[in-house]
Chains A and B, each alone.
Chain A
């Protein structure tokens, strides 16, 4: 089970009225390398990973939901006061006719989320290598969103999220090392 804290992991502030940024941000909401994909991937893989690294997948998977919540807050703040006309200008007309003002799990090009973005191979190394790649891809996505954004406050939060991807990648790399060392240990004894 989870314990919910009614606050964001990191403060989210947007300083420009620019709904187009929301269109870009949803890539990290319902995109292939987004936070939803990350959370679902890790929290599912954890059942069939060696016990030494179950906790890591559990912790990181949980944190990804906190990141998802931050992205949702950003998208909401950027779109909640926009008129349908402004949303259309921002390239969110397709989104509006399907979802109104609601958020939805899709990527920046409005392609709905699909479980085919994620994998659980049941092979610990294959799964952890996917996880490392996922973190690097999420890190890169944050880079490109920052490049597209002139919103200083938004970019501050995005820089925090990008840094978390670095830390997650580091931990997954260590998890691989832990599983490799198990084999060495057997050799020694």
Chain B
């Protein structure tokens, strides 16, 4: 999942030896591509209209599909 490595960040909250639940490990959070884009540059590559309607954006540069439990799995 190369894409998700780009658009998620992670951290590992402190887990005490006394904490009763197992350490779930890394927590991931979304940092979708628009956070880095600034003003959208002109002439970015586009999806076909059909693809764009399915994905919710015309531009691959703005596409960030969320996977279930991405928070846990990154």
Contacts and interface: CB of A to CB of B under 8 A. Distances in A.
Interface residues of B, number: 22
A146 B64 CA distance: 14
Given A139-B32, A147-B71, A166-B57, A174 B40 contact: yes
A142 B66 CA distance: 9
Interface string B41-71: 0000000000001111100001111101111
B20 interface: no
Interface string A165-189: 0110110011001000000000000
B4 to A, nearest CB: 13
A139 B30 CA distance: 10
A167 B57 CA distance: 7
Contact of B62 (A143, A159, A161, A166): A166
A143 B40 contact: no
Nearest to B70: A143
A155 B53 CA distance: 16
Interface string A124-164: 00000000000000011011001101000001000111111
A128 B29 CA distance: 24
B62 A147 contact: no
A147 B37 contact: no
A143 B72 CA distance: 12
Contacts of B71: 143, 147
By DSSP majority rule, is chain A's interface helix, strand, loop, or mixed? helix
Nearest to A164: B56
B39 to A, nearest CB: 5
B66 A146 contact: yes
Interface in B9-40: 30, 32-34, 37-40
Given A143-B30, A177-B39, A166 B68 contact: no
A173 B63 CA distance: 17
B62 A170 contact: yes
A163 B63 contact: yes
Interface of B: 30, 32-34, 37-40, 53-57, 62-66, 68-71
Interface of A: 10, 139-140, 142-143, 146-147, 149, 155, 159-164, 166-167, 169-170, 173-174, 177
